[in-house]
Amino acid sequence: MSDNDRTTEATWSPTAHGVLALPSGRLVRGRGLRHALPEGDAPHFGVYLLGKQPPEVPWDSRWLRWPDFRLPSDRERARELLREAWERAAGERVEVACGGGRGRTGTALACLAVLDGVPARDAVTYVRARYDRHAVETPWQRRYVARFADHG
């Protein structure tokens, strides 16, 4: 992406809907794809967590096969894409999204929090307090976050 393709605001507003502030100051937007695209700036990069390929978007994006209420089909690819999202969030508008914006998105945001230094045992609580109180919906999603730091 060239500098001309970027707006003057390189990252999200910390008060924008769905934006999670990580301890480092990185800002990542979580959202549900079943809802309308929020008004305002478009992402520079998106990671889409769905059981089937998402529709095309006009920004750089990656698809991770992740069926609803489950875990990523390819755990290594999940780790790679979440690390890329975390790295890019240092200077770009990054969004993570699934169908509803809670379970898979919350799980991925909690993993980003782990990458950002939040202890894995606290990451779900961190995301629920700062993003959505219903984030990370299943016991296996909570276990996935708790074990995320052990596999990398």
- Domain residues for 88? 22-148
The token pair that represents 101 in the structure block: 């914006």
Indicate whether 131 belongs to any domain: yes
Share of the chain above pLDDT 90, in %: 88
Residue 89 belongs to domain with CATH number? 3.90.190.10
User: pLDDT, tens digit, for every residue of 101-119?
Assistant: 999 999 999 999 999 999 9
Give the predicted TM-score (pTM) of the model. Answer: 0.93
Tokens 């790679």 belong to residue: 80
Integer Cα distance of 32 and 119 in angstroms? 26
User: pLDDT, tens digit, for every residue of 55-91?
Assistant: 999 999 999 999 998 999 999 999 999 999 999 999 9
**pLDDT tops 80 at residue 97:** yes
Tally of structural domains, the chain: 1
